[in-house]
Amino acid sequence: MTVEIGYALFSAAFAAAVVFGAIAGPKLMFAMPYAVERGLLLAATSVAALVFPLRVVTVLRRFSREADRRDRPDRPGRSEQ
């Protein structure tokens, strides 16, 4: 499970950084009023803060379901050979 946790954290950090950059990126490229810049930063931070835990939970639940599926045989009473 350690590898899965590492993957979940890394991919969540990457996804949050991409979302933050996509929302806050125009602030660096264009001259905007102060209120708009602050609004973009606030929106980018808020959305990135939501994306990070959502991605972690999604990845860990997916790995958990796959592990449960591997543990359960398709037909009870039969063993895989």
Q: What is the pLDDT of residue 58?
A: 96
- The pTM of this model reads 0.77
Instruction: Single out the residue of 13, 3, 2 nearest to residue 54, CA to CA.
Output: 13
Q: Which of these, 70, 48, 47, 53, lies nearest to 8 by C-alpha position?
A: 53
For the chain, give every domain's residue range. Answer: 2-67
Helical (H) or strand (E) element with 56 = helix 34-71
- For residue 77, give the DSSP letter: T
d(CA 62, CA 30) in angstroms, rounded, equals: 40
pLDDT tens column, 59-77 = 999 988 877 777 666 666 6
Instruction: Report the SS3 class of residue 75.
Output: coil
